[in-house]
Amino acid sequence: MVAFALLPFLLAAVSPLSSDAAPLSGLTSMAKFKGVPVFPPVNLGLMCEIPMFQNACARVAAKTSVGKQVYTPIGTAQGVADGSGANRFAVKYATHTRWAASTVATKWALPTGAKNASGLPLACPQPSVDPSTYTEDCLSMMLYVPTSLKANSGVPTLLWIHGGSFIAGSATAPGLDGSKLAVATNSIVAVMQYRLGALGFMAPDGTTNLAVKDSIAAMNFLAKVVPSFGGSSSKITLAGQSSGAGMIRALLAAPSASSLFQSAILQSDPIDYGFLNVSTQNALQSSFNTLTGCAASDKACQSSLSVDAILSAQVTLGDNAPSIDASTGSAEPIRPVRDGSLINTPLDLTAPFPPVSKPILLTNVKNEAGPTIFGAFTGILAPSVFGPVCAASLGDARTETIQASPFYPTSNIADTRVPLETLGTDWIWRCPTWSLARSWSGNGGRVFVGMFVTGATYPVNNAIAFCLQPGSVCHQDDIEIVFGTVPNPTPAQAQLTTEMQARYKAFLTTGSPNAAGLSSWTAATTTDVHAHQLGGTPSPSGEIPAGACDPSFWGSAVQYDYQVFGI
């Protein structure tokens, strides 16, 4: 079997932003007034970087926030204003050595490559981008803080985890400026980076889920510093899109991470893939070690590898993954592993679902598979092609059931890409999301499900004609709506941005996306997920019909990949 969806990569977009921030000045010299020594005003920021003063500074941090300079328990944070009512702070949240677990930062430091507070972090190493845009020392984040916030205000923090199939992306990818979202939600918005690809998931000694542990380090860092900016360490909500949402699902399945966040928002999570199992990870790991030429125990060899050599081996591994173990697929062959230590449940239909309590919000876009299908097939496809394409991806048995169903008709269809796109959206994204919602609701958690029928074309989708058509909402087209970063938004886009930010503000504070003046969003149950329509002309019920996502079809009559492969 081959995978159906090849998710577009979020390429790092690192561009300097202007700032009027000045570097910290040193202590001025002592003067005298009428013969008596006079000490000038002390630069508290510099003092707070001296270990003997850090405890005192921590107490001051609870009361003090001066403009773009914030005194935290680990040193002075210097930010820049961007004119939107928020200050931006770039910081290293953790350090690490190659293929070792990350350690939470104990000192406030600018990201690698940043010369001053206006500098942006370099991305984590990834294929097909200019090497000057990335560094291994990449565990950095951006904090966006409303200028009106005072220390210890107790507002929520939203930690955004970017997508990119676990091999690409950055905190500075298009649309991820969190300033407007922070102001609209009266929260701190943090956008983090984590180790990607082989550097985050293929430690030669078999250590698993390093990138997931990076996310845990980021939450521990935020708990330490957000009170100084006006946040509450107990009010952290995770949010992310695509593989970023998949990372959050891994954190929901990690008991040791549970106390670090209160709720989660998962946008366009390709849940169909599931977590890798240990045997699959071991097979991939063995192949990767062979490709690098370094034995599992040969630390010297591993340290001597160039980043280019590691990325080259990673690309080859990704290409070969389906032939090594078919359960990997080709879209996200490198991904979190249910290792039994950090991640101990699949959170799917293959095993008893654990008790849960956190509120979660799950969303999809109308045409998740649009970039995949219309990007791969650039010309019209005849109806006769549906069966072979479907069988090549899902196998004969599942294809037979799909063709016999009423959900993906090909008769009287001029272009078979249309039902193929609907099929891909249901199979990889929408229906497994709805299955997760039913399980979450049935085991103690509150869950809200939605679908974007209005979006804003994400830059990587501009080359795909289908994604530019009126009414199309392709994978990633929800990102700029949520962040409020749509260039020249239409009235419909602006209205949906206002709505989503109001709903996110409510969710961050109450665990529900219902807010005054907005239509009611009903929580999902085990029998009806009540998928709320986001944007467009509301249907009579305001909800999206189940269609093929009825539990008797996907997940039962037609199994998801994670069921087929038992992962």
Place of tokens 């300033």: 179
Of the candidate ranges 2-11, 116-125, 320-329, 375-384, the one whose mean pLDDT is the lowest? 2-11
- The whole-number pLDDT of residue 14 equals 26
Predicted pLDDT of residue 25: 27
Dig out the tokens for 15 from the structure.
Answer: 């561009």
Task: Compute the distance between CA of residue 559 and CA of residue 563 in angstroms, rounded to an integer.
Answer: 6
Q: Where in the chain is the domain with CATH 3.40.50.1820?
A: 79-328
User: Read out DSSP for 330-353?
Assistant: TTSSS--B--SSS-----STTSPP
pLDDT tens per residue across span 232-248: 999 999 999 999 999 99
Residue 57 has pLDDT above 60, yes or no: no
What letter represents residue 349's amino acid? L
Q: How many of the other CB atoms lie within 10 Å of CB of 544?
A: 22
Q: What angle do CA 233, 236, 240 make, to 5 degrees?
A: 150
Specify the pLDDT at position 46.
Answer: 43
Higher pLDDT, 541 or 487: 487
Q: Give the phi and the psi of residue 502 in degrees, each rounded to 5.
A: -65, -40
- Spell out the CATH class of 79-328: alpha beta
Dihedral of the alpha carbons of 485, 486, 492, 496, in degrees to the nearest 10: -30
- Determine contact, residues 267/478, Cβ cutoff 8 Å: yes
pLDDT for 323-366, tens place per residue?
Answer: 999 999 999 999 999 999 999 999 999 999 999 999 999 999 99
> What integer pLDDT is reported at residue 48 of this predicted model?
46
Listed in sequence order, the residues at least 6 apart from 292 whose beta carbon sits closer than 8 Å to its beta carbon are 204, 301, 302, 305, 309, 310, 313
Give the SS3 label for residue 130. Answer: coil
- Tens digits of per-residue pLDDT, 124-158? 999 999 999 999 999 999 999 999 999 889 999 99
Rounded distance between C-alpha atoms, residue 373 and residue 139, angstroms: 34
Q: What is the pLDDT of residue 41?
A: 35
Phi first, then psi: what are they for 307, rounded to 5°? -60, -40
Type of residue numbered 546: A
Report the alpha-carbon distance of residue 141 to residue 160 in Å, rounded.
10
Alpha carbons within 13 A on the beta-carbon side of 447: 27
Contacts of 408 (CB under 8 A, 6+ apart): 386, 402, 419, 420, 422, 423, 548
pLDDT (0 to 100) of residue 266: 99
Which pLDDT does position 496 carry in this prediction? Answer: 98
More confident residue, 563 or 540: 563
Beta strand spans in 289-389 (E): 360-365
More confident call, 567 vs 52: 567
pLDDT of the residue at 52 = 52
Tell whether pTM > 0.85: yes
The active-site residue, picked from 102, 242, 263, 435, is 242
Please provide the average confidence, as pLDDT, over all residues in the chain.
Answer: 90
Measured CA to CA, the distance from residue 506 to residue 498 in angstroms comes to 12
Q: How far apart are the first and last CA of the chain?
A: 15
Bridge pairing between strands 532-534 and 36-38: unpaired
* DSSP single-letter state for residue 281: H
Q: What is the per-residue pLDDT for 147?
A: 94
pLDDT in tens, 151-207: 889 999 999 999 999 999 999 999 999 999 999 999 999 999 999 999 999 999 999
* Per-residue CA distances from 65 to 58, 287, 363, 472 (Å): 12, 51, 36, 45
Contact 242, 7 (CB under 8 A): yes
| CA distance readout (Å), 400 to 5, 158, 330, 371 | 20, 44, 23, 25
242 in active site: yes
| All residues at 6 or more sequence positions from 41 whose CB lies less than 8 Å from its CB, including other chains | none
Is residue 529 scored above 60 in pLDDT?
Answer: yes
Query: What gap in Å lies between CA 447 and CA 473, rounded to an integer?
Result: 23
The residue ranking higher by pLDDT, 22 or 44, is 44
> What single letter denotes the amino acid at residue 407?
F
C-alpha to C-alpha distance for 188 and 510, rounded to whole angstroms: 16
How do residues 68-122 score in pLDDT, each as one tens digit?
A: 899 999 999 999 998 889 999 999 999 999 999 999 999 999 999 899 999 999 9
pLDDT confidence band for 553 (50 / 70 / 90)? very high
